[in-house]
Structure 1
């Protein structure tokens, strides 16, 4: 395999005032807030407007090109497009592709007007773009006679001292990373069956205090005795609804959970819940104090490009909002919070995160300079590998890419840049279909590195798929040998049961949905949640909660799940036997945290929280109604009073200790919850998938459907 190095020369050393305008006339491009892009019309995309009307020129960059160990030769790379053509071609072709596109009406008006011929014309222009880039490289290349594959590194050097890297100063401009280099992978080249592209940002490594080196991702891949540590951050914008609603929150969680199922305990996968900026920092801090270092952090959330407090266009990430105060009435959706990318990068740098994956739109956007690129900012703060999105991207494209990327990275143990290439290749083989037409948008999934991989990583030896390590593996970080329960006030030993070690191993991976992410948000935020299926036939509330509990156990959210019936809280004798709580009817623990195997092997990491308490049959206990039998009514009223008192004490202790959760399973509406259980300081949640129509969650309280009051649009079975 031949290796090609395309190394750019910083703009100031080129002596160029601007790569696209005559000297002295460079004007910074104007970007629109991505929030506006989501709802605005055809002209509301990131633009490059110039106040001075001058003839357009193709941007140019001075580079050196080398093949293998041969001497580098100077060359000039010319942008195949005018700057205006990026809007006319790429933006129109990818118009609104970060939206779900549930219907043809949500497509760009431009594409609807042009029809199939217009889309084909844009695809021809994009194909010629890649061919033009390759022709400029090919005239400076001298391949080996027997080479059949080619790895291309696009190296962008750091600006010279005094240059402004954001492209807004007169002496600098966007670097060669603003070009769509990944289109080279689709160019047909004689004798070359495969082309791979990797972007290298040659930025200085930030200074860090010296300490013992941590195992790298490559070291874990090479040593089956070590474990992968992956942290996932998921957040969605619940204010979108109808045809514009967000995609399901399993774009990253589904492939990661499948990878975990393949490699078993070799992958330590955890999820930041809720997906807030504060919880991310706290999660990393807790694990660092326990000696756990994450090799990769994945951000499955939205990106924005908007002005900061100084008026500069910078990237932001949309997180869930923490410390949400519940309202006394009405339905509320989870709120969101924008965080500056540089602040998140500083958190990752503090805990020396090596690799980051972003499926946010515009997360690698740098048409005006690197200051708008999330990927570049993370690399500047010390992240070694970044996978991000070059422009607007469709959710199905992301799903296809991540499914292959994580399978190659974690199961087949391929280097980061090769796994990224395989992900793009999967999109080429299975293009995203929108409204019945396939779109070639594989080139949007780009990958960056801070340094050129070693020769072994460029052409790695084929490895066997990741085996499941023994429990004695060096990657199994020993932690607590006991758990803390608020019922006893002390850390308690887990009961050794052999079945606990295997009970969770064979269950299928569940698909996360928006309403289930909403449940996680409410449970993590308020700690007490009443989950209702509104008596809908076939809702399968209990089985859904069982699957969620299985996932929470496998991702170390809780150490155990305890099941009760509401009437158990009315038994005063049990309260004396179990101070501060009641006796549970059933119990599930983490697969690696129970059974007799714990007596032989060290435990994995400690769970982030202690217990999830699940209470069933609550409706008939706290609101029994009235019968014709006065004696029976008195018994039910006594049980109701005692159960309410027991639940109140239970919830108060749970809120006070702050390390467990309480989940009720019932069938009543929000008004019933406010009447009978809101004094427990929790929230009501509805087990109902979000439809593609305008959802009633936004316009009124959701109540039980009756014959006199039919459900409005959006309440679907």
Structure 2
């Protein structure tokens, strides 16, 4: 019998009916499954034969559609429409084999006369561990049944969740609920550990790889929302740095068993052959501690670590992390359940970054702001994807994608409790306050991998020399990195001193600037007069603060400071006074015995450190250097379209990518029409726009500016006329009049 509960919506009681269906797989062959259907604990159908609604060729087409259409082939509309047709018909074909409508007809007839009532249908797909085969029932796309239009009633809400029995978790009667720790301030703590890993040997495009910051941004967005709305839950987010298996294990050990409620794996997954055998297994790709590459770790090994440290829930936005159509060990999500994890979210397909961002935002929003259970929060994320099907693709296009079923939830076998469903996010989400975006919309584009690389260097060396040509965006990049690191507790304070923006900065002003920034970010600091003229006293105070906290100090614009005396007598006094503070910062950074960790980043236009700089700070950078290069083509185009759209250009009217042009040798393969589109709005508004374009021949830095020229470059003799400065790699700077490009 179905249950009846009530919930209050806008002051009115609203009846909510709950119906539970369990689809239990009994046996499997190469081409079909034999299942039973149980309604509210009563066997309703027995020995029903179910086959995959898709043929192998159709499955291949749909996989291409989900994994490559938006990411790399947005103009293959014919093949995409074919896949969309298959996916649209998929749930109908599935229901034609399972007479679920016949089971639910009495409820539908009652609901037809009670439109004000909401019907909650939970569908649990169960597979017995002992009867599992390579052809798993979990290989079917059960989440496509969540579309309420299938059930001919506007108030039906459907939650699909998967389980494997027996469940090894000792969660008791309610395994789907997350129980935050109670704090003395009346709040509850929810602790999340995030593990991010990517192959850093190359820069993937925005559309060929899941954004390396998608999980971080989703969690920090919810954290910011909880803080600003004074919610009852305090979200603590910690990140494993670097994302190696050893660092992951050590982080869990330091925290202690049961400290983390959830571990989120933001890394690649793959199903492959187990070494030395013909059987398939799933792997997660952690960072390699000795290189910029990743290394595969068997899913069952990671599951064992989670079980050992009593982690109850896990999220994997890894491709193929829940692929259930190959072999027993190929489904990482199922492996986690076998080792005691109570709930897991995995991806049987590669998911686009934009889709992952939508799903994760609404999943965590429902879980932490809506206070719903794990599988219901997953259904909320899928519903958000269903309601927001438009995905950004290359060349500024926006395309619909039917991918709402890609994220699947596995959990312990058990009926969802009524209170869980009664507080479902489908109603509560409408009453939640809007969550502010993170990171800010003006954050740099295409720098997520650069942040990971810089993090890895800092963890290994603590002192890094960051280089980058004029206009590449070093300051914006470091501001973005500081925001990320403070929000995820990598550092407690981030200090930035930019000599290029603070002309005439004295040694006293340099030290005082650092101290003032530290004091504004640290609650308790040693007493010192803000007007103190004693540089030594200021430096001692800085050292005292840095010995107790984790901090990063950015020293930028040194190319404008007088540290390179020409002749030797010029700048000698200035460098002699500033050197003690710089050397003190480096001494603290190198001292691993201190409680606090200090990281120092020197940012400079020069590719290699000047010998005078190394003499000044008393440090040889050698292996701790990182060059911030120009953006790759897809990210550069994305930035370009962003600039154009902000200037009023309707890029949706464009019918394809910019065509190559050889009309001007300085631009090479850059489309002249594209440069015209870029230059016109920028110069019309008399604003500066920077676009970094990468081609086969190298990187071009194109910027429109109303006055002056890049430092050390060709000086225009035509006053304030706007020019487009084209910086070919390893060559001189060419100044092209905008009027020539717009002609």
Task: For 1:246-261, list aligned pairs within 5 A.
Answer: 246-261=209-224
Secondary structure of the residue aligned to 2:310 is coil
Give the whole-Å Cα distance in 1 for the aligned partners of 2:630 and 2:380: 33
What is the match of residue 683 of structure 1? 624
**Offset at residue 277 of structure 1 (A):** 1.5
Whether the 8 Å CA contact 1:151–1:197 is kept in 2: the answer is yes
Secondary structure of the residue aligned to 1:202 is strand
What is the match of residue 375 of structure 2? 417
Whether the 8 Å CA contact 2:161–2:375 is kept in 1: the answer is no
Check 1:608–1:389 CA distance in 2 against 1; reply closer, same or farther (3 A cut).
Answer: farther
Check 1:458–1:132 CA distance in 2 against 1; reply closer, same or farther (3 A cut).
Answer: farther
Whether the 8 Å CA contact 1:81–1:129 is kept in 2: the answer is yes
Give the whole-Å Cα distance in 1 for the aligned partners of 2:494 and 2:621: 20
Check 1:437–1:465 CA distance in 2 against 1; reply closer, same or farther (3 A cut).
Answer: closer
**Offset at residue 69 of structure 1 (A):** 4.2
Within the alignment, does 1:712 sit opposite 2:675 as a pair?
A: no
Check 1:563–1:393 CA distance in 2 against 1; reply closer, same or farther (3 A cut).
Answer: closer
What is the match of residue 654 of structure 2? none
What is the match of residue 313 of structure 1? 280
**Offset at residue 226 of structure 1 (A):** 1.4
Within the alignment, does 1:520 sit opposite 2:487 as a pair?
A: no
What is the match of residue 327 of structure 1? none
**Offset at residue 641 of structure 1 (A):** 7.5
Secondary structure of the residue aligned to 1:671 is coil
Give the whole-Å Cα distance in 2 for the aligned partners of 1:560 and 1:341: 36
Secondary structure of the residue aligned to 1:7 is strand
CA-based RMSD of the aligned residues comes to 4.6
Whether the 8 Å CA contact 2:24–2:125 is kept in 1: the answer is yes
Q: How many residues align?
A: 577
Give the whole-Å Cα distance in 1 for the aligned partners of 2:556 and 2:330: 53
Secondary structure of the residue aligned to 1:344 is helix
Check 1:226–1:133 CA distance in 2 against 1; reply closer, same or farther (3 A cut).
Answer: same
Give the whole-Å Cα distance in 1 for the aligned partners of 2:405 and 2:169: 34
What is the match of residue 53 of structure 1? none
What is the match of residue 220 of structure 1? 180
Check 1:80–1:467 CA distance in 2 against 1; reply closer, same or farther (3 A cut).
Answer: closer
Give the whole-Å Cα distance in 2 for the aligned partners of 1:608 and 1:127: 60
1:501-524 Cα deviation digits (max 9, x unpaired) = xxxx99969677332232222222
**Offset at residue 586 of structure 1 (A):** 2.9
Whether the 8 Å CA contact 2:321–2:332 is kept in 1: the answer is yes
What is the match of residue 632 of structure 1? 570
Whether the 8 Å CA contact 2:372–2:423 is kept in 1: the answer is no
Whether the 8 Å CA contact 1:5–1:153 is kept in 2: the answer is yes
Whether the 8 Å CA contact 2:464–2:621 is kept in 1: the answer is no
Task: For 1:692-703, list aligned pairs within 5 A.
Answer: 692=633
Give the whole-Å Cα distance in 2 for the aligned partners of 1:658 and 1:536: 37
Q: Greater CA deviation, 429-438 or 506-515?
A: 506-515
Q: Which sections of structure 1, spanning at least 5 residues, go unmatched?
A: 12-17, 21-58, 168-172, 325-333, 469-504, 567-572, 575-580, 597-606
Task: For 1:109-188, list aligned pairs within 5 A.
Answer: 112=76, 115-116=77-78, 118-135=79-96, 136-138=98-100, 141-142=103-104, 143-144=106-107, 145-147=109-111, 148-160=118-130, 165=132, 167=133, 173-186=134-147, 187-188=149-150
Give the whole-Å Cα distance in 1 for the aligned partners of 2:66 and 2:46: 34
**Offset at residue 74 of structure 1 (A):** 0.7
**Offset at residue 321 of structure 1 (A):** 2.1
**Offset at residue 83 of structure 1 (A):** 4.7
**Offset at residue 592 of structure 1 (A):** 9.1
1:272-311 Cα deviation digits (max 9, x unpaired) = 122222111111111117xx71111111111111222242
Give the whole-Å Cα distance in 1 for the aligned partners of 2:556 and 2:343: 50
**Offset at residue 696 of structure 1 (A):** 7.8
Whether the 8 Å CA contact 1:384–1:451 is kept in 2: the answer is no
2:151 to 182, 189, 198: 189
1:565-614 Cα deviation digits (max 9, x unpaired) = 99xxxxxx99xxxxxx9995234479796599xxxxxxxxxx99932241
Whether the 8 Å CA contact 2:474–2:603 is kept in 1: the answer is no
Whether the 8 Å CA contact 1:198–1:448 is kept in 2: the answer is no
Give the whole-Å Cα distance in 2 for the aligned partners of 1:378 and 1:313: 17
1:171-228 Cα deviation digits (max 9, x unpaired) = xx422111011111235222364342423323334489x9x99999533399963111
What is the match of residue 19 of structure 2? 3
Whether the 8 Å CA contact 2:163–2:413 is kept in 1: the answer is yes
Check 1:347–1:246 CA distance in 2 against 1; reply closer, same or farther (3 A cut).
Answer: same
1:107 to 63, 66, 73: 73
Give the whole-Å Cα distance in 2 for the aligned partners of 1:699 and 1:382: 53
Whether the 8 Å CA contact 1:557–1:608 is kept in 2: the answer is no
More strand by share: 2
1:669 to 606, 615, 618: 606
Give the whole-Å Cα distance in 1 for the aligned partners of 2:238 and 2:137: 36
What is the match of residue 68 of structure 2? 96
Secondary structure of the residue aligned to 1:319 is strand
Give the whole-Å Cα distance in 2 for the aligned partners of 1:72 and 1:423: 31
Secondary structure of the residue aligned to 2:161 is strand
What is the match of residue 373 of structure 1? 331
Secondary structure of the residue aligned to 2:609 is helix
What is the match of residue 195 of structure 2? 233
1:685-708 Cα deviation digits (max 9, x unpaired) = 345563236998999999999759
Secondary structure of the residue aligned to 1:141 is helix
Give the whole-Å Cα distance in 2 for the aligned partners of 1:714 and 1:217: 61
Whether the 8 Å CA contact 1:80–1:129 is kept in 2: the answer is no
Give TM-score scaled by structure 1 length: 0.69
**Offset at residue 376 of structure 1 (A):** 0.7
Within the alignment, does 1:660 sit opposite 2:632 as a pair?
A: no
Give the whole-Å Cα distance in 1 for the aligned partners of 2:338 and 2:315: 15
Whether the 8 Å CA contact 2:175–2:342 is kept in 1: the answer is no
**Offset at residue 665 of structure 1 (A):** 3.7
Check 1:691–1:365 CA distance in 2 against 1; reply closer, same or farther (3 A cut).
Answer: same
Give the whole-Å Cα distance in 2 for the aligned partners of 1:466 and 1:215: 26
Whether the 8 Å CA contact 2:209–2:352 is kept in 1: the answer is no
**Offset at residue 442 of structure 1 (A):** 0.7
Whether the 8 Å CA contact 2:466–2:601 is kept in 1: the answer is yes
Task: For 1:426-505, list aligned pairs within 5 A.
Answer: 426-433=384-391, 434=393, 435-461=397-423
Whether the 8 Å CA contact 1:174–1:370 is kept in 2: the answer is no
Give the whole-Å Cα distance in 2 for the aligned partners of 1:293 and 1:559: 21
Secondary structure of the residue aligned to 1:275 is coil
Whether the 8 Å CA contact 1:66–1:141 is kept in 2: the answer is no
Give TM-score scaled by structure 2 length: 0.67
Check 1:191–1:696 CA distance in 2 against 1; reply closer, same or farther (3 A cut).
Answer: closer
Give the whole-Å Cα distance in 2 for the aligned partners of 1:714 and 1:336: 35
Secondary structure of the residue aligned to 1:585 is helix
Whether the 8 Å CA contact 1:513–1:689 is kept in 2: the answer is no
Give the whole-Å Cα distance in 1 for the aligned partners of 2:438 and 2:80: 45
What is the match of residue 471 of structure 1? none
Give the whole-Å Cα distance in 2 for the aligned partners of 1:138 and 1:714: 70
**Offset at residue 248 of structure 1 (A):** 3.0
